[in-house]
Structure 1
Amino acid sequence: MTIQELMEKRAKVWETAKNFVDTHENENGVLSAEDNAAYERMEAEIEDLTKAIDRHRKAEQREKELSQPVNQPLTGKPYSGKQEEPKTGRASDEYRRAMLNAMRSNFRQVSNILQEGVDADGGYLVPEEYDRRLIDVLDEENIMRGLATKITTSGQHKINIAATKPAAAWIEEGGALTFGDATFDQKYLDAFKLHVAIKVTEELLYDSAFNLENYIITQFGSALANAEEDAFLNGNGTGKPTGIFDAVGGGHLLGTLTAAIKSDDVLDLVYGLKRPYRKKASFIMNDGTLASLRKLKDNNGAYIWQPSYQAGEPDRVLGYAVHTSAYAPKDAISFGDYSYYNIGDRGTRSFKQLNELFAGNGMIGFVAKERVDGKLLLPEAVQIMKLKVTE
C-alpha cells in the first residue's frame, strides 16, 4: 500500500470516528462503555496507520539513499563551453577513494592524499562529500534541524540580541526631544562533543559487495540525529545543548494545567504567542499528547485536529502544523517559531578507526564525532504549556 493510500485510509477512519462520536454521545457528551471501546479501536487504527505512514516515508528515504551509485559516481557536468575547475583537498575524488581504500584495508594502505585530512589525534577527517550526506541523514531524522536556524562556527559564536528598543513619543510644537536607550544582550553558541561508535567484523569490512559507505553514513547519522534531537528538546545546557523545553533556557512558560487539556487551552497557547511569531509557528509534542488532542472540539463542534490528506504535509491543529517526536516530553506542548533556535555546528564531523582495541575478536571499531551547540535566542518566540500528569 502506498503512502497516499495509507493517508486516504487514515482520513476515512478519522471521518468514521468523528461521525461515530457525534451520533453515539448522550446529552452529556459521554459514550457508553461499549461505544467507548469501539471508538478506542478506531483510535488505535489511526495510530497504526500514522506509524505505517512514517515507516513508509523513512523507507522511501533510505531506498533513495541506498540507490545512489557508490563506486564510481558521475562527477562531471555536460560541456558548457568552459573547463570545470578540479576539486582539491578533501573535496577531491582522489581523497574520497583513498578514504574508502584505507578503511577496507584496515588502514594498512594509507595513501599520501589522506595526510591532507589527518586529525591531531590520528583520526581521519570525513571527505566533504561524506559530510554533506551525513547532514542529509541528520536533517531527515531530526525535526529540529528542519525547523531551526543552522550555522557553522569556528569558535565561540557571539549573537547580539536587542534587549530594549527605542519608543516613540508625542511632543508639542517646539517641545524638547526625549531620548531613549537601545541596549543589547548577547548569547553564546559553544561546542559540546557528541560521538557514536560501532564495531564491524573484518570479513564485513573486506567484502567489496557490501555497501560499506552507506551503512556507516546511515547508522552514524541516525544515532547522532536521535541524540541531537533529545538535546535540542530537553537539554539543560550542561555538557549538551539547551533544549526548547528547558525550564531555564527554553521557551516561555505560558502556564501549567491542573486538569485535562481542553480545546480552549490550546487556543490560549496559540494566541498567547505574539502575532509576529505566529506567522511561521508550529506545534511540537509527544505522539501520546497528539492522541489526546484528536478528541477535542472547538466551540462550533469541529475537531481541532485535522489529518494530512497529502503526502509530505504534516497534520494540523487549529490550522498550524504539528511535529511529533518520541523525545518531546509527555507533560508539555510547545508552540512557536523555531527559526529562533540556533544550531551551531563546530567544523566538520570526523571518523576514527580503532585498530587494536578489538583485534583479538577479529573486529574493527569506528567512531564518529561532532561538536555542536543549540540555543533558543528569544524565549518569547516559543510558548510552552505544561500538562497535568495523569498516572
Structure 2
Amino acid sequence: MTTLKIRELKNKRSSLGHEATAIMQAAQDGNRAMTPDEETKFDALMDERDQVDRTIERMERLLEQDRQGIDDIPDDGRPGNRGGAEAARMDAWNAYLRDGRPGLTADHVRALNAGNDPEGGFLVAPEEFVNRLLANVDDQLPLRGLATVMRLTTAESLGVPTRDADLADATWTSEVGTGSQDDGLRFGKRELRPHPLAKRVKVSRTLLRRASMDPEQIVRERMAYRHATAQENAFMTGDGNQKPLGLFTVGNADLGGITTSRDRQVPTDGTRFVNDATNGYAADALIDAKYALKPQYHARARWLFHRLVLAEVRKIKDANDQYIWKAGLGDAPDTILEIPHVLSEFAPSTLADNDYIGMLGDFSFYWIVDALQFEIQRLVELYAEANQIGFIGRMESDAMPVLEEPFIRLQSNDTVA
C-alpha cells in the first residue's frame, strides 16, 4: 500500500512539474516575462510540488526502515508492541509523563533508574525515546539531512582536525628519486562541544489521559518541533558562544567558520535582484558563485535560501532573457544552474544592501554533534489553572562548518541605491 501511494505521489509531482514548466515555456516562447497571474499560479504549483516531495521523502524513509528492520516500533508507540527490558522502561516513562512521580511504581523506578530523583525532578529519557526524538528533529531540518551528524555517548567534546596549510604539488623525479622535502603541511583543531539546549512545552492534562496515542508520542513530537526550530536558527546565524556556529556568521582565525573571503556579491535594488547592463546581472553573479566552488564539491552541493529569497531567484533571467530556474521533471529535483536547492525559514530573508541572501555549499562539511542524554522535567502546579502540564526538555548539541572552502556565501549589493 505504501509503495502504491509513493508511486501516486511521484506521478502527481511529475504532473505539477510539467504544468509549471508549461507556464514558464509559454512566457519564453512569447519572449516576455510571466504575467502576475502566471507567476502566482507558477509559485503555487511549485509550492505544492515541494510539499509532495517532502511527503515522498518521509514515506520512502519509513519504507526503507521497514525493509531493513531498522525501526520495529510502530508509529503509535504502543507499549504492547515492545518487549523485554525496553518495554518496562517505556511503560515507566509513559507513566511518568502521564501522572508524574506519584504514578511510578517500585518496578518503574528501577526500570528508569530514577533512584537519584527523590523529588520527581529531572529524569533521563530512555534511549529509544531519545533516538526517535532526534529522528523527528532530523525530519524537520533539511540541513541535518545534508550535514555530517555524530552522536557523543561518553566523550565531552569532539576535536575536528582542520588543514591550515597544505603541501605543494608533487615534483617529477627519477625512478629512484623521492622528490623534495616539503614541511608546509599544518593542521589546526577546532572543538565541537555539545551545549545545553532547553525548551518548555505545555500539554493538556485531558489530552495526556484520554488521547489514543501515548504521552510519549505527544511530548516527543512537541519537543522535537521546538528543539528543531531553535537548532535551525543557530545553524544559520548562531554566534558560536555556547551554541552552534552558524553558516551566515562571519568566521575568523580564532572562531573558525566561514570568513568573508568566501562571500560573493549579487546585484539587487534592495528588494529584488537586478538584471541589466547598468546595474549588473544577478544571473551572472550566481554563475560566478557556482564556478567559484571547486568542481569536486558540485556533486553534493546545494543552494540554501529562505523561501522569500527563492521566490525572487525564480524570476532571474540570464543575459539572453532566459530563466536560470529549471523546474524538475519526473523524479528530477528543481535546479538553479543545474544544482538543487534547500529552504530554511531561518536563512536570511531580506535583500537590503550588504545582507547575506543565500549560500551554495557542500553541507557535509557542516558538522553537528549531539549528546544522547535527554532530560525532561514535569511541571504540575505551574499550569494547573489552565488544566495543563508543562514539560521542560534539555538536550545538548553543537555544530559548525569545519572547512570554509566548500561554501560560497551570497551577499546583496544594492547597485541601484
TM-score by length of 2: 0.77
CA contact (8 A) 1:119 1:125 kept: no
CA contact (8 A) 1:242 1:250 kept: no
Q: Give the CA deviation at 1:213.
A: 2.2
Query: Unaligned regions of 5+ residues in structure 1, if any?
Result: 77-85
CA 1:181 to 1:329, structure 2 compared with 1: closer, same or farther past 3 Å?
same
Q: Give the CA deviation at 1:6.
A: 4.2
Picking from 278, 290, 298, the partner of 1:270 is 290
Question: What is the identity, as a one-letter code, of the residue corresponding to 1:39?
Answer: E
2-side partners of 1:48 and 1:178: how far apart?
57
CA contact (8 A) 1:187 1:377 kept: yes
- Three-state SS of the structure 2 residue aligned to 1:193 is strand
CA 1:52 to 1:191, structure 2 compared with 1: closer, same or farther past 3 Å?
closer
Partner residue in 1 for 2:302: 282
Query: Unaligned regions of 5+ residues in structure 2, if any?
Result: 64-70, 252-256, 269-273, 275-280, 352-356
Q: Give the CA deviation at 1:299.
A: 6.4
Partner residue in 2 for 1:43: 42
Q: Give the CA deviation at 1:20.
A: 2.5
- Percent sequence identity over matched residues? 22
1-side partners of 2:243 and 2:172: how far apart?
48
1-side partners of 2:300 and 2:51: how far apart?
28
CA 1:56 to 1:161, structure 2 compared with 1: closer, same or farther past 3 Å?
closer
Partner residue in 2 for 1:103: 97
Q: Is 1:341 aligned with 2:366?
A: yes
- Three-state SS of the structure 2 residue aligned to 1:291 is helix
Q: Is 1:356 aligned with 2:381?
A: yes
Partner residue in 2 for 1:318: 337
2-side partners of 1:258 and 1:302: how far apart?
18
Picking from 204, 208, 215, the partner of 2:207 is 204
CA 1:54 to 1:227, structure 2 compared with 1: closer, same or farther past 3 Å?
farther
Deviations along 1:222-266, one digit per CA (max 9) or x if unpaired, are 121121111111212134211111122336533222342632222
Q: Is 1:220 aligned with 2:220?
A: no
CA contact (8 A) 2:133 2:221 kept: yes
Q: Is 1:3 aligned with 2:2?
A: no
CA 1:163 to 1:146, structure 2 compared with 1: closer, same or farther past 3 Å?
same
Partner residue in 2 for 1:83: none
The worse-fitting range, judged by mean Cα deviation, of 15-24 and 127-136 is 15-24
| Structural RMSD (CA) | 3.5
Deviations along 1:174-205, one digit per CA (max 9) or x if unpaired, are 99944423211110112222222122233332
Deviations along 1:33-68, one digit per CA (max 9) or x if unpaired, are xx6334333334335534653685699699999962
Q: Give the CA deviation at 1:169.
A: 4.2
Q: Give the CA deviation at 1:321.
A: 1.7
1-side partners of 2:97 and 2:178: how far apart?
77
Partner residue in 2 for 1:188: 191
Q: Is 1:113 aligned with 2:110?
A: yes
2-side partners of 1:139 and 1:53: how far apart?
18
Picking from 71, 77, 82, the partner of 1:70 is 77
CA contact (8 A) 2:77 2:213 kept: no
CA 1:200 to 1:15, structure 2 compared with 1: closer, same or farther past 3 Å?
closer
1-side partners of 2:228 and 2:394: how far apart?
12
The total of aligned residue pairs comes to: 370
Q: Give the CA deviation at 1:371.
A: 1.1
Partner residue in 2 for 1:250: 258
1:35-184, aligned counterparts within 5 Å?
A: 36-50=35-49, 52-53=51-52, 68-75=75-82, 87=85, 92-110=86-104, 111-116=108-113, 122-153=121-152, 154-167=155-168, 168-169=170-171, 177-184=180-187
- Three-state SS of the structure 2 residue aligned to 1:140 is helix
2-side partners of 1:345 and 1:179: how far apart?
38
